[in-house]
Structure 1
């Protein structure tokens, strides 16, 4: 894949993301590169709706790659291998000048190996490091042997990978860099016709099909119990585009269906407006904390996956700001603790105690500061700088 001259075609950047969060990162990076290069860049690769808006025409829907759990991953392995081959075939046709592989460890690692075999000289960039500080530290050595550069979103990532010889650039966490809208809460309440003191429960069951299958049933039961106890409670469910149809079909059968909201703008406004949230563990917990929303965090995986993970995990908590704080700032109900009854107890305490909510909001904010919150940081711009610097070093930029 030798670099073409400018008269032949623009710089070709391959972006590969397999989940909703990666789709957002890929879209933001594409937009930042386009601001610099204009018509001098084109994008190919794998992604979702956000990346499609930036010109990435994915050869298959990424929802089928959103796999939850180790053993669920084994069952999906033939499909993953097929999609890896499809991705490498896309690179063979489009001849990218650089490939940026975003999050999604298992899929992107296989894609990286396929691309390396296809063209040993193709620059490979990994965007978002595997969380080796939480489990499986050997992945740092594996990644260093597979890609050329890492774009890290946590300040504490770099030492793990640099000691293995992988050049690492800290670009920042786009969630932590988000500026919080002060009028988002009142705007959302006006949008749904809610008074300033109406209680709102936000339901966030995840962005992967597997998460929806495991998390929506206990969340449903908890929400219905809380609604029965508090008839004035409003239920709101922001939904990721990757699982929108699945979720809407499910909640339509609930005795008290929640209001389903789509799109990032409404989601963030809903977070700012909510009294409390019931959230699937993941990056959404950081978004909630930034929005000043107290929450209860929950998660479930398959029984066999849980048995394996218990032996692999080296952290006490699952939520990043709990890890940063060194304590359960937000209650975590994991696996067998994730029951409707436990959820009702923890959420009920927050709904009924404004002082408790205020203390948790303050503790969440303090933990975000420990995580390196910086509203002036623009991770996509830093990531674009690193990509262009790498291309320039190879005479391609």
Structure 2
């Protein structure tokens, strides 16, 4: 009987962890699983008294603000892990937090096998993290094949699982989405995806929403649909109480891929959702803003590609989806592009074709990402 402990601090990691739990139970039903996570893991019966909700931040300065909390939670997590005495510890995403957890377990229980699922973006920032990670974990399950060479000099075994968003995605139904949203089949629909973190609802959502409102002023017949991520829906509704007077805020019960498929164009916060939009053959632009000190450090010293959107990076770092980031993150500029694209079906089709080519470079094999990750984890048993 193998004992596995899984840690996931953010919504995206929690979902992937839950999917991995499903695959482990399918392939090794006698495995005992405990963990620290959020709603998706809890739905699988894996619950913890440790609240990791405060760790859903992004950016250097934002992270420094919760540094003491990160350290305290890492200490609590280590204590809970050691009390369970797992054979394998699985750490999903959340680089800063999970690194500290790994360091504590490696120091206190060096015999525990540690697997990191989703590595730091060494291809984009701070390649030296590869050496750091190799020093505290026994196996890495990463997303992209281009990450593997960074770890080879340090002897860390690596399994490539592909993009989880592509694995779990499926084709949404445009007709069903529009019916659920009560939108006519022939209407032009502009979709707003305002982010999945509280910091994004604060820093990114206002400009995206304002861009959509500007489009509505210019094209009154356009239907505006706003789809907040489930993890921040309450924060969004509290921050934008009157947005429903000129747009439709999608109900929480609606299938998000149906919502995406119902759109003609989208304004998206940078993140996994951009790949999901591309899977639905929906053209989009990307907006993003973080703290200015974080941005200056990232652009000046850390982030190597010119673009922040994975699709654009995969397309040899060219701009398939227009990016409006930090200094160019402006509602009017984004509204201009959205209006042009809504008026030009050929331009939308051209972007979709380019997105499809980039997606083909981001795919994975016959198994889905969670299954590949589960196989890698169980191989250490």
TM-score grouping bracket, smaller chain normalisation: over 0.9
Find out whether 1:36 has 2:27 as its counterpart: yes
Say which of 355, 373, 376 aligns to 1:386.
376
Q: What's the counterpart of residue 279 of structure 1? A: 268
Shift of 1:237: 2.5
Contact 1:141 1:164 in 2 (8 A): yes
Shift of 1:108: 0.7
Contact 2:52 2:73 in 1 (8 A): no
Q: 5+ unaligned residues in a row in structure 2: which ranges?
A: none
Q: For 2:203 and 2:251, how far apart are their aligned partners in 1?
A: 21
Say which of 149, 152, 157 aligns to 2:139.
149
Q: What's the counterpart of residue 359 of structure 2? A: 368
Contact 1:200 1:274 in 2 (8 A): yes
Contact 2:278 2:355 in 1 (8 A): yes
Q: What's the counterpart of residue 338 of structure 2? A: 347
Q: For 2:86 and 2:342, how far apart are their aligned partners in 1?
A: 52
Contact 1:103 1:129 in 2 (8 A): yes
SS in 2 for 1:198: coil
Shift of 1:373: 5.2
Find out whether 1:296 has 2:285 as its counterpart: yes
Say which of 176, 185, 198 aligns to 2:166.
176
Shift of 1:50: 1.0
SS in 1 for 2:165: coil
Q: What's the counterpart of residue 212 of structure 2? A: 223
Provide closer, same or farther for how the CA distance between residues 252 and 110 of structure 1 changes in structure 2, counting only shifts above 3 A: same
SS in 2 for 1:176: helix
Q: What's the counterpart of residue 125 of structure 2? A: 135
Contact 2:169 2:276 in 1 (8 A): no
- The Cα offsets for residues 256-306 of structure 1, whole Å up to 9 and x where unpaired, read as 25313436x711111111111111111111111011110010110111111
Which sits farther off after the overlay, 49-58 or 105-114? 49-58
- The Cα offsets for residues 281-337 of structure 1, whole Å up to 9 and x where unpaired, read as 111111110111100101101111111011211111111111111210000000010
Q: For 1:243 and 1:189, how far apart are their aligned partners in 2?
A: 23
Shift of 1:351: 1.2
Say which of 11, 16, 27 aligns to 1:25.
16
Q: What's the counterpart of residue 395 of structure 1? A: none
Q: What's the counterpart of residue 318 of structure 1? A: 308
Which sits farther off after the overlay, 91-100 or 25-34? 91-100
Shift of 1:37: 2.4
Shift of 1:178: 4.1
Shift of 1:377: 3.0
Contact 2:4 2:31 in 1 (8 A): yes
Contact 2:114 2:138 in 1 (8 A): yes
Q: 5+ unaligned residues in a row in structure 1: which ranges?
A: 1-5, 392-397
- The Cα offsets for residues 117-152 of structure 1, whole Å up to 9 and x where unpaired, read as 221111100001111111100000000011000001
Q: For 1:286 and 1:123, how far apart are their aligned partners in 2?
A: 32
User: What TM-score does the superposition give when structure 1 sets the normalisation length?
Assistant: 0.91
Q: For 1:31 and 1:373, how far apart are their aligned partners in 2?
A: 19
SS in 2 for 1:269: helix
Find out whether 1:80 has 2:70 as its counterpart: yes
SS in 1 for 2:164: coil
Q: What's the counterpart of residue 240 of structure 1? A: 229
User: What TM-score does the superposition give when structure 2 sets the normalisation length?
Assistant: 0.95
Q: For 2:223 and 2:77, how far apart are their aligned partners in 1?
A: 43
Q: For 1:277 and 1:59, how far apart are their aligned partners in 2?
A: 38
Which sits farther off after the overlay, 233-242 or 294-303? 233-242
Q: What's the counterpart of residue 112 of structure 2? A: 122
Contact 1:277 1:296 in 2 (8 A): yes
SS in 2 for 1:180: coil
SS in 2 for 1:333: strand
